[in-house]
């Protein structure tokens, strides 16, 4: 993080933050799908 600030590539840091949140969103969606499938299996 310090290296990025030193280089002055602020846009690259913003992109990595967006990428991180996008990855979190994908994991949450997969978790919801898998959780829903598990619940359907258990209570079917």
**What is the tens place of the pLDDT at every residue in 3-38?**
555 555 666 678 888 899 999 999 999 999 999 999
CA dihedral 9→12→14→17, nearest 10 degrees, is -130
Residue 2: pLDDT above 60?
A: no
CA distance 27 to 30: 5
Its pTM surpasses 0.85 = no
């Amino acid at each position: 993080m310090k290296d990025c600030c030193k280089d002055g590539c602020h846009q690259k840091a913003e992109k990595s933050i967006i990428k991180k949140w996008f990855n979190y969103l994908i994991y949450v969606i997969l978790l919801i799908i898998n959780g829903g499938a598990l619940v359907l299996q258990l209570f079917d």
